Amino acid sequence: QIADPAACDQMYESLVRIHTNYYKNKYPRLKDTTFTGVTIEDCKMILATDILKQMEEMKKGTWKKLRERFYAKKSEEDSK
């Protein structure tokens, strides 16, 4: 049994409006935006596994470069 059927109906109608994008259709935007300002296409591209693998490879390359620079400086100091 529902204690307040009118309140339940009102909540149900609110959920239906959210689910059907009622307000998005009623008040269309000139440009689709998100909280972060990143478009959906950009999010999909960033989250793609191939892109993630490429980013990991780029990070590895950066760390290797830093290690090489560090060891080169260290070996120069050791030789002095």
Question: Please, what is the average pLDDT of the chain?
Answer: 79
pLDDT digits (tens, 9 = 90+) for 9-41: 999 999 999 999 998 889 888 776 677 777 777
| 55 vs 70: CA distance, rounded Å | 23
Structure tokens at 21: 């994008």
Q: Would residue 80 count as lying in a domain?
A: no
pLDDT (mean) for 65-73: 74
Question: Total structural domains in the chain?
Answer: 1
- Percent of the chain past pLDDT 70, that is, above it, reads 84
User: In 3-state terms, the chain is what percent helix, strand and coil (to 5)?
Assistant: 75, 0, 25
Domain extent at residue 46: 5-75
Q: Would residue 33 count as lying in a domain?
A: yes
pLDDT confidence bin for 72, thresholds 50/70/90: confident
| 62 vs 13: CA distance, rounded Å | 53
If one compares 60 and 44, the residue with the highest pLDDT of the two is 44
